[in-house]
Amino acid sequence: MNVLRRTLLGRTRAPAGVDGNLRAGDGREPGTADDTMLPKARGQWELVWSRFKRDKVALVCGIFIGLVLIACFGGEPLAAHLLGHGPNDLFPMSVDADKNLLPAGPWSHVPNIHGVATVTPEMPRTLFVLGADGTLGRDLFLRVLDGGRTSLELAFAATFLALVLGSILGLASGYYGGWADASVSRLTEFIMGFPILLFLIVFGWTVSNRLDQITLHSALAPGVLSLVVIIGVFYSFYPARLVRSQVLSLKQQEFVEAARMIGSSDIRIMRKHLFPHVSGSLIVYGTQLLALTIFLEAALAILGVGIEPGYASWGSIIATHYGTLFGDTGASAHYIDARVAHAAWLIALWPSALLFLTVLSLTLFGEGVRNAFDPQAVRT
């Protein structure tokens, strides 16, 4: 038996080595047919990982996303602790009143007026790594990290909600068909015709603002939560369509029939036999949705209906200097001083660049995951 196993292993290894020299993403998976002959079959996730590893671009993008997450969620509190001030603390002395309110530049030590009785030249100073964020004199470095946290929190929570709701809706409508399917499909088509911004404006922003304004029940609706719920519910229709169309073809296959024959319940069939098949495309869609939500938050902020003012997010930092990224059009036309306009340009550049890189990484990462899950698919 051992001899047999060794010969089998030896035989399967040789072509694997040859295949290893092929270009990544060639479309052929080395030794898939032989895998069944191996003593231990490799699981779906193991195969996906082995294919994903070969896509170096996607790997680098994944690492970058991880770094951004670490920097925003872990690095921000750490940096705030080390620097000794928070992202929302005001440092009026970091803005030069003599130069048309020019904010402090990168790596400047600004006077720390907190806990100081009188303003003297020898007063303690605190470090602004990227300078001040504008006329209010807050630490841009911390605000970019803190804003990233808000943007990413929103993106991940809304995406998670959308995927969960969407897979439930899609599984149910695809599996049961008939009346449930028809109503979900019609509703999906209908809802997808509406711009989500309208929903966000009408149901989210107005409602939560009114609640805050009138009842001051801050526990009820901090801006992010209502955005998460609305975005999550709205975008759940897209994965629902995706899951539904896949389930429609999957449920005709023998393994579902077999599972039903041995008496599996509908719930079990959906959970154990259908869901694993759609999980790949859900993950891919999830990365797209993450990117979309990050964009949406920025767009909301730019249109002036985003998260509550005062909180930082990438969108809100860009929006404060709206129009400054490519010069002095739009709201920033009031910058009389070229140097101030230039400073504003730099301030908007940081969150914009992070936004761009994060979304770029998410897109390429999603591409890599798609190819890893479905190597035969036409690469788009």
Partner 1 sequence: MVRYAIRRLLAGFLLLFAMTILTFALFRLIPLPSGCLVVPCGPGTTTGDAEIAAAEHELGTDRPVVVQYGKFVWGIARHGTFGSSWIHGNIDPLIRQAIPKTLSVLVGGAIFLLLLAVPLGVISATRAQQPIDRAILAFSVIGIALHPFLVGLLLTRAFSGYVHLTPFGGYCHLISAGKPAELAPGTPPPPPGAGPCAGVLPWAHHMILPWLTFALFFLPLYTRMIRARVLETLDASHVAAARAKGASEFRVLRSHVLRPALLPIVTMVGMDLGGALMASMYIETMYGLGGFGSIMLSTIAGGGANFGFDLPLIAALFFVIAVAVIVLNLVVDLLYGWLDPRVRLV
Q: Please give the Cα distance from 189 to 174 (Å, whole number).
A: 15
Q: Does 91 bind partner 1 (CB under 8 A)?
A: no
If one counts every other C-beta atom within 10 angstroms of the C-beta of residue 114, the result is 12
Q: Which stretch binds partner 1 (CB under 8 A): 48-56, 137-145, 183-191, 251-259?
A: 183-191
Q: Residue from 44, 215, 218, 249 that binds partner 1 (CB under 8 A)? A: 215
Q: Please give the Cα distance from 197 to 299 (Å, whole number).
A: 9
Q: Does 124 bind partner 1 (CB under 8 A)?
A: no
Q: Does 278 bind partner 1 (CB under 8 A)?
A: no
**Closer CB to partner 1, residue 90 or residue 187?**
187
* Residue labelled with tokens 């003593």: 39
| Cβ atoms of 295 and 312 closer than 8 Å | no
Smallest gap from residue 214 Cβ to partner 1 (A): 5
**Closer CB to partner 1, residue 176 or residue 295?**
295
Closest CA to 176 of 281, 267, 273: 267
Q: Residue from 298, 307, 317, 343 that binds partner 1 (CB under 8 A)? A: 298
Q: Please give the Cα distance from 281 to 377 (Å, whole number).
A: 12
**Closer CB to partner 1, residue 24 or residue 259?**
24
Q: Please give the Cα distance from 62 to 49 (Å, whole number).
A: 13
Smallest gap from residue 198 Cβ to partner 1 (A): 5
Q: Please give the Cα distance from 280 to 369 (Å, whole number).
A: 8
Q: Please give the Cα distance from 94 to 139 (Å, whole number).
A: 9
Helix (H, G, I), strand (E, B) or coil at 327: coil
Q: Residue from 21, 36, 376, 380 that binds partner 1 (CB under 8 A)? A: 380
Amino acid of residue 332: S
Q: Residue from 67, 190, 336, 338 that binds partner 1 (CB under 8 A)? A: 190
Q: Residue from 194, 253, 272, 338 that binds partner 1 (CB under 8 A)? A: 194
Find residue 111's DSSP bridge partners. Answer: 125
Binding mask 300-339 for partner 1 (x = CB under 8 A): --xxxx-----------------x-xxx-xx--x------
Q: Please give the Cα distance from 164 to 169 (Å, whole number).
A: 9
Q: Does 202 bind partner 1 (CB under 8 A)?
A: yes
Q: Does 343 bind partner 1 (CB under 8 A)?
A: no
Find residue 110's DSSP bridge partners. Answer: 126
DSSP track, 175-226: HH-HHHHHHHHHHHHHHHTS-HHHHIIIIIIHHHHHHHHHT--TTT--HHHH
Smallest gap from residue 328 Cβ to partner 1 (A): 9
Q: Which stretch binds partner 1 (CB under 8 A): 129-137, 141-149, 151-159, 198-206?
A: 198-206
With contacts defined by CB under 8 A, how many residues of the chain interact with partner 1? 50
Q: Please give the Cα distance from 372 to 380 (Å, whole number).
A: 14
**Closer CB to partner 1, residue 90 or residue 201?**
201
Q: Does 229 bind partner 1 (CB under 8 A)?
A: no
Q: Which residues bind partner 1 (CB under 8 A)?
A: 186-187, 189-198, 201-203, 205-207, 209-211, 213-215, 291, 295, 298-299, 302-305, 323, 325-327, 329-330, 333, 352, 355-357, 359-360, 363-364, 378-380
